[in-house]
Amino acid sequence: MIPVRLTLDPAFRVAPVRRRTFGSFVEHLGRCVYTGIHDPEHPTADQDGFRKDVLELTRELGVSTVRYPGGNFVSGYRWEDGVGPVEQRPRRLDLAWHSTEPNTVGVDEFMRWAERAQVEPMMAVNLGTRGVQEAVDLLEYCNVPGGTALSDLRRANGAPDPYRVRMWCLGNEMDGPWQTGHKTAYEYGRLAAETGRAMRMVDPGIELVACGSSSSVMETFGEWERIVLTEAYDQVDYISAHAYYWEEEGDLGSFLASAVDMDHFVESVTATADAVRAAQRRSKRIHVSFDEWNVWYQKRAESRPPRGDDWPVAPVLLEDRYNVADAVVVGNLLISLLRHSDRVHAASLAQLVNVIAPIMTEPGGRVWKQTIFHPFAAAARWARGDVLQVAVESPTYETARYGDAALVDAVATRDEETGDVAVFVVNRSTGAPAALDVDLRALPGLRLVEASTLANPDHTWSATADDDTSVAPRANATARVADGRLSAELPPVSWTVLRLGPVA
């Protein structure tokens, strides 16, 4: 048994829980849109062809924001193709994913879907093949009430009220050579600054996200952020971060410690942003929008787009099937994001449906939850109030990729108004349970409300359309609160949420 001690104290507050931490991502990639959120032939389809069963699970997942329409897709996207009568919309080649885009779903359809899903839309503009004017045009279409050509076009297309989109991404992964319209840091920084300046002339209240690094292993990591922010600091509010993790060559230990890299990513980017702030003598701080993150097995066949003369509509792409270990890592990455709530003000799990997603569908058929659905839904539901700085005393283990890592990692939140506390814990050990001891003496008068653990003796188990409950969290019967201490046994390769509330 691994001895682990956590200490909670409400005086050690990190920041408020950011609801935007629980964002997701819908891109015109594979089956995310078509047969994912949109499937007009499905028995549950609404008047716009959106699957009500997917809408229901999106709400259950607790998603706060959804980034749209990409992703790599946005760097070649002409937003005008997706408005107006559907039968008149052009079909286009999507260079990012070697597919054909029918433009059946566009800006107006997505905004109606977002309203039904009860999520905040987060729009991206194309700074790959397009620029300042096209970004301003899209903003005018979305946010100007009326009286101009593009705002009146929106009204004519059935949306009399402006969409009032607040968050805007200035392109996507422009540091990546794979990106259509890839640019150097200086080229992109100047374009982002000029685009942001023009967009704020239309709507001064918007929040702008500049492209940061696509990965912490990019050769330009750090220097990219420095140059981009040097050019665009006054025009943007956030710098983006993107990171994907997967188990390589059976190295489960390193995979389970993926949050160590996410911690490093956030801390490095914020240090760079603060250095630019100091050099430019600015008062405002740039925060992080971690608007792509997940487990993604990039070397699998389903992650490779088609080639040659075949340009299919909505091909099967990036449809990873997640197991218990994947869910534990996703839960740990959420712990990292919450732990950095002072600087991570928004995040997007990529993606929402079918494509490296918590929700899977069959065209015209069933919908089910993947393993990663559960830690996200629980954190989105129970993380409330303030994030607390948790003192973790845990043995460490050596990993090939990240050096020494703690066997147990944790974060906690506390709602001052209700007194409710939630503790989120992962056990990264592959062979031994952990004996958890949480010191609650600084938070007297708490009782255990609920304890649940996601684990399985076979961490490779995955959910299926026929059975998506066998790998769902189960009640942890070992959890106890007594004499100002919370104790619980945590199985190997597990994610646990412990909910506490005031004694009645």
Q: Residue 421: helix, strand or coil by DSSP? A: strand
Residues composing the chain: 504
Residue carrying structure tokens 């964002």: 23
Query: Per the structure block, which two tokens stand in for 431?
Result: 């062979």
Q: How far is CA 222 from the centre of its chain?
A: 21
Q: Let me know how many helices (H) and strands (E) the chain has, helices first.
A: 10, 26
CB atoms within 10 A of CB 303: 17
CB 334 within 8 A of CB 349: no
Beta carbons within 10 angstroms of residue 497's beta carbon: 23
CA atoms of 365 and 390, how far apart (whole Å): 44
Contact call for residues 320 and 354 (beta carbons, < 8 A): no
Task: DSSP letter for 302, please.
Answer: G
End-to-end CA distance of the chain: 34
Q: Give the SS3 label for residue 348.
A: strand
Q: How far does CA 405 lie from the centroid of its chain?
A: 24
Token output for 21: 């931490």
Q: Are 110 and 26 in contact (CB under 8 A)?
A: yes
3 state SS of 397: strand
Which candidate, 175, 332, 296, places its Cα nearest to that of 239?
Answer: 175
- CA 336 to each of CA 60, 181, 244, 389, 402: distance values in angstroms, whole numbers, following the listed order: 22, 32, 14, 12, 15
Q: Could you give the C-alpha distances from 112 to 109, 337, 347, 351, in angstroms and in order? A: 5, 29, 22, 19
Does residue 259 sit in helix, strand or coil? helix
Rounded Cα distance, 322 and 358, in Å:
8
Residues with a catalytic annotation lie at 173, 292
